[in-house]
Amino acid sequence: MQMLRISVGDVTNMFTETIDDTDRPSNQVTTHTPDQTPSISLEKYDLASGVDVSGDEGKGNRDTPEAALPVTGEPIGLGYLITNTGAVPLTSLTLTDTTITGNGTVSQMVWPEGWNEESTLEPGESITVTATLSGVTTDHTNIGTVTAIPILACPMVDDNPWDDNPAATPDGMCTAETLTADDPWNATIAPPIPGVSVETGGTIQPDTGTPVPLWALLGASLLMAGGVIAGVVFWRRRRKGGR
């Protein structure tokens, strides 16, 4: 008789054999089924704002367009917080980033020192990968995607459960299906500063959209100052004449 374990934890069981209307209960056996639930999470954020580990819209998570980071075209440092949220180790981690809206390129991904494909992320542990986003000139959305392979305890093998030989643990490592987690991140072009802006070559651009040369504004200022001085001199002469 063999049974399939369907729940995690300790289970005590026994059976009763009936022969010639006589019950012959077995001994009780307690077995333990470990939790081998695999899980992984990814939080993508901009390094300048930091990460909200709760996964909400705080700090640099920017999961929605409403929370987008205003950018000006300069390169942006990104962080990818990868956490093993399951009950078993994870290995063979991969990380990719895909732009799905607008333009821009993610490059220069840097993993923790010494990390490689054979490294193991234990339950509860986290690592951070960094990268650089550049070339953003429009509203932008990209999605980071992490994959990992769970490492499971191999089930014991007993070809003949009725003999006196104990079950054997197979050699090697047992794994489960590949896990995947992703997280979007958004940016938007920062609006221009209201008022005037200085163009190349010393030209001041008011809100009207008509460029005004800097020398013209300086000349107008000098004329206004001269008019004030002339007015003061005329007033003083007139005052002396009235005496």
- Asked, for residue 216, whether it belongs to a domain, the answer is yes
Q: What percent of the chain has pLDDT over 90?
A: 50
d(CA 217, CA 150): 70
Query: Are residues 151 and 231 located together in one domain of the fold?
Result: no
| CATH code of the domain covering residue 92 | 2.60.40.10
Query: Are residues 119 and 80 located together in one domain of the fold?
Result: yes
Q: How many separate domains does the chain show?
A: 2
What is the reported pLDDT for 212?
53
What is the reported pLDDT for 196?
45
- Asked, for residue 227, whether it belongs to a domain, the answer is yes
Region 45-50 average pLDDT:
95
- Asked, for residue 162, whether it belongs to a domain, the answer is no
Query: Are residues 231 and 179 located together in one domain of the fold?
Result: no
- Give residue-wise pLDDT tens across range 138-184: 999 999 999 999 999 887 777 776 777 777 777 778 899 999 999 99
Query: Are residues 130 and 80 located together in one domain of the fold?
Result: yes
Query: Which residue matches tokens 């001994």?
Result: 27
Main-chain phi, psi angles of 118, to 5 degrees: -90, -5
What is the reported pLDDT for 207?
47
- Give residue-wise pLDDT tens across range 227-243: 545 554 555 555 555 55
Query: Are residues 144 and 217 located together in one domain of the fold?
Result: no
- Asked, for residue 6, whether it belongs to a domain, the answer is no
Structure tokens that stand for 78 in this block? 């990104």
Helix (H) or strand (E) holding 237: helix 214-242
pLDDT band at residue 54 using 50, 70 and 90 as cut-offs? confident
What is the reported pLDDT for 169?
74
What is the reported pLDDT for 200?
43
- Asked, for residue 16, whether it belongs to a domain, the answer is no
pLDDT band at residue 187 using 50, 70 and 90 as cut-offs? very high
Region 29-58 average pLDDT:
83
Tell me the CA distances in angstroms from 4 to 1, 7, 154, 163, one per residue in order: 11, 9, 15, 20
- Give residue-wise pLDDT tens across range 102-135: 999 999 999 999 999 999 999 999 999 999 999 9
d(CA 229, CA 233): 6
| DSSP sequence for 160-219 | -TTSSSPPBPPSS-EE-PPEEEEEEEEEEEPPPPSS-EEETTTEEE-TTS--EEHHHHHH
Query: Are residues 125 and 213 located together in one domain of the fold?
Result: no
- Asked, for residue 112, whether it belongs to a domain, the answer is yes
Query: Are residues 80 and 175 located together in one domain of the fold?
Result: yes
- Asked, for residue 2, whether it belongs to a domain, the answer is no
Query: Are residues 47 and 151 located together in one domain of the fold?
Result: yes
Burial of residue 102 (number of CB atoms within 10 Å: 0-12, 13-18, 19+) = middle
What is the reported pLDDT for 143?
97
- Asked, for residue 174, whether it belongs to a domain, the answer is yes
Tell me the CA distances in angstroms from 82 to 3, 58, 62, 86, 143, one per residue in order: 37, 17, 16, 12, 14
pTM higher than the cut 0.75:
no
Quote the domain boundaries for residue 49.
40-155+169-189
d(CA 198, CA 173): 65
Region 75-102 average pLDDT:
97
Query: Are residues 181 and 238 located together in one domain of the fold?
Result: no
Query: Are residues 109 and 182 located together in one domain of the fold?
Result: yes
Query: Are residues 89 and 174 located together in one domain of the fold?
Result: yes
Tell me the CA distances in angstroms from 231 to 176, 234, 237, 238, 241, one per residue in order: 91, 5, 10, 11, 16
- Give residue-wise pLDDT tens across range 216-231: 555 656 666 555 455 5
In this predicted structure, the answer to whether residue 199 has a pLDDT above a threshold of 50 is no
Query: Are residues 181 and 216 located together in one domain of the fold?
Result: no
